[in-house]
Amino acid sequence: MEYEPAEDLPCFFAAAAVGIEEQLSLPEHGVVIATRVVLRRARADTFGSHQLAFNIADYLAARKALERTGRPRL
């Protein structure tokens, strides 16, 4: 990923992890036994990227992944 300043990238990835954890810890999912998340691609730019955007994007990605499991919602 190309981004300037590069020292901001770890903050974005940490925010992404928080978003995933928030989605997986919702009580409506029941117990999540084991989960592995692989971030395959990310894009950041100096004007539109911020921690909240990464948090929300990965929150929604985790929700979509849970929906794909076909597990009924409680």
52's enclosing H/E stretch is helix 51-68
Q: Which two tokens stand for residue 17?
A: 């992890």
**Predicted confidence (pLDDT) per residue in 1-24, tens digit:** 555 566 777 888 888 888 888 888
63: its two tokens: 């929700």
Give the closest residue to 53 by CA, choosing from 7, 8, 4, 5: 8
> Taking a C-beta distance cutoff of 8 angstroms, is the pair 35, 24 a contact?
yes
At 17 the pLDDT is 86
Can you tell me the distance from the alpha carbon of 29 to that of 71, in angstroms, rounded to the nearest whole number? 9
Q: Of all residues in the chain, what percent carry a pLDDT higher than 90? A: 0
